[in-house]
Structure 1
Amino acid sequence: MERDARPHAAATDDDHLGPRWRRLPCHRTRNARRDIRLPELPMVQGILISPAPDDEPVPEAWRLGADEERARVAILGCGGAGCNTLRHIAAPPNVDRIALNDALHPAMAGPTRRLLLRPDSLRAFASMDERVVAKMESDEEKRIAAAIMDRDFVIVVGGLGGQLGGWAMSLVGRVARILGDASLAVVTLPFTAEGALRRETASAQLDLLRRKTEGVVVFANDPLLRLVPDLPLARAFAVLGSLMARVVVGLSGSLGRSDLPAVRKMIGRAKEWRFGLGAGAEKHRCFLAVDEAYRSPWFAGRPEDIRQAVVLMGLPPSGGIEEELLREVRVRSPLADIAWAVLPESVPEERAVVEILAGR
């Protein structure tokens, strides 16, 4: 939508776009650079969005996977919940799936690698400061290191509150850091009804995990009771597992090796990461998709507080709506640096799907 030229202003290439459009460099679909012009609107559904102060740095936007060489990613499912999540993950060719548990379980049947570790010493090993104790002495550390040695990026998935998964994910993060690899954790929190002791354990594990990995994406279990109240608990867990799998598959399949330094820095800038998924159809599909993603039960906090965002898009074969989707994200989170990618699976015409990882 074009605007009239600004009066009393020197002519520039952007004059015809009006004063509330900002030029951001970005890659388009065929790897050719172009400018995406994103609007800065003051209101979204009646909520005032404060514009960036004049001294704020201009937020960045760039496309992931612009180079052809994909990052080598390891996805480790830790504990029962993590191994069950691996069952929902159809790994791209650049991804290695690894199941980690204290005993063989049917959910470990699919992954190409399996690690059996004793749970009694995981917390002590994971708690060691790798800056002080950089040498891996334990058998557990050495076995994890051997499994992820040839990887560039490590993603751990699992549930917090038990005696294995939460501590094992932190130990993987410690090993990855010693090896020089970035790591991201995707975790679930226990139901409130599971009791104070389990929730206290989960809180301690989450605190350690945030120190051992670059970032943690948190899914609380309680919103499941509102999202699918009539489903049996096992089916509800399967729904959550499929959502966690979307995060992992979408990100790991989009990363190029040249993206890793910037992505590592982006993930490390945010203390808290959340996930939202949305879909829209017909004329206002982009607005509806992004709006639904921001209304996700796991997308807590104010949209304008988001400072980092990874936007993964499911587009129809004809494409052409990338700019509109990014514009809808920018309207809601004007201060966010954005990394974006187009998912390989196309959606029907007149539809759009968006997955947003948001950090604040």
Structure 2
Amino acid sequence: MPDVLRLGQGEPVPARIAAVGCGGAGCNILQQIPAELGITRAALNDAPHRSMAGIPSRLILPREPLAGLASMDEAAVKQLTSPEEKAIAGAILNHDLVVPLAGLGGETGGPAAALVGRVARILNSATLAIVASPFGAEGINRRMAAERALSLLTKKADGVVSFPNDELLKLAPQLPLLKAFEVLGAIMARPLVDLARSTTRTDVATLRDALRKAPRWRFGGGGGRERHRAFEAVEEAFASPWLPADPDTVERIVVIAAASDYAESVATEVAHEVRLAAPRAAIVLGGYADPTLGDRLRVSLLAGW
């Protein structure tokens, strides 16, 4: 049976995390990240946009060279010589974990996220990209562009968590399209917020190793109350429309639990329920106390396969 690795066991120094919103959609997701978390936030776009408002670091870069620069092999071209690479490096330098956020299918978000991944890799920072793919109603051209962007991004980031937009409609089929984008942005911010609250600097190597061992990652979230709260939270997380229907296909899991009374006993119970749900998966488990949750246990789960 695969091991359960624990986050938060090393030096109690929070990981230095930089989140880069790429394109309009990525910057909208970035707006969902609370400023008080201490995450370095940078907004990147090819022109000023209202989604960049209030973000401390703003990068305006031409879209045309982004994909070409991102496509360069880091092993062969290790120097950051272009103005675009230098601008990104200035925003993410000296961070343990870099998180590009983007909506795929447009001309800026996907290529920019891949370039952020290239620059972060050269700077020896771990990378976890969080991206959304287009709704089917947005047309074949955007879907094909999203597939190309995702293919490039998976070569540049240690792990990519993708959120196919159409799956959101299974959660709320009556949701208007604009409202759906807003709800999806809040959901996509959740794993980053939980990682920021539970990950130390020494944890980043463990996280990076887990991310690199699965080519695709998806998110599931759940909550529970009272006696069987761990069972309920894990069951709801695995019922996420973004996760595979058969949990036996999942090979890697990163799970973050939060509760007002979070302690070793809670961690053990969550690990037990995740192990029962996905017996083949290697598990990385973290958690933190959140007094705002009252009697509720919340679970954020990244599944890789």
Give the TM-score range, shorter chain.
over 0.9
Does residue 131 of structure 2 align to residue 187 of structure 1?
yes
Q: Report the residue type matching 2:280 in the other structure.
A: L
Corresponding position of 1:359:
304
The CA deviation at 1:346 is 3.1
Corresponding position of 1:152:
96
1:122 to 66, 69, 90: 66
Write out per-residue CA displacement over residues 232-282 of structure 1, whole angstroms, 9 at most, x where no aligned residue.
Answer: 221111110001111111112322111122211111011110100011122
Given the superposition, is the C-alpha separation of residues 169 and 347 from structure 1 closer, same or farther in structure 2, using an over 3 Å criterion? same
TM-score, normalised with respect to structure 1: 0.81
The CA deviation at 1:318 is 6.7
The CA deviation at 1:192 is 1.2
Q: Report the residue type matching 2:256 in the other structure.
A: L
Alignment of 1:156-235 (within 5 A): 156-235=100-179
Q: Report the residue type matching 2:233 in the other structure.
A: A
The CA deviation at 1:348 is 4.6
Percent same amino acid among aligned pairs? Answer: 45
The structure with higher relative contact order (CA 8 Å, sep 6+) is 2
Given the superposition, is the C-alpha separation of residues 111 and 125 from structure 1 closer, same or farther in structure 2, using an over 3 Å criterion? same
Corresponding position of 2:208:
264
Aligned-partner SS, 1:327: helix
Corresponding position of 1:103:
47
Q: Report the residue type matching 2:260 in the other structure.
A: P
Corresponding residue pairs, total? 304
Please, which runs of 5 or more residues in structure 2 have no aligned partner?
none
| Structure (1/2) with the larger helix percentage | 2
Deviates more, 1:213-222 or 1:67-76: 67-76
Corresponding position of 1:88:
32
Given the superposition, is the C-alpha separation of residues 347 and 307 from structure 1 closer, same or farther in structure 2, using an over 3 Å criterion? farther
How big is the alpha-carbon RMSD for the aligned residues of Structure 1 and Structure 2?
1.6
Q: Report the residue type matching 1:328 in the other structure.
A: E
Given the superposition, is the C-alpha separation of residues 318 and 246 from structure 1 closer, same or farther in structure 2, using an over 3 Å criterion? closer
Aligned-partner SS, 1:216: strand
Alignment of 1:1-360 (within 5 A): 52=1, 58-64=2-8, 66-317=10-261, 319=263, 320-346=265-291, 348-360=293-305
Structure with greater Cα Rg? 1
8 A contact 1:184–1:214 mirrored in 2: yes
8 A contact 2:18–2:97 mirrored in 1: yes
Please, which runs of 5 or more residues in structure 1 have no aligned partner?
1-51, 53-57
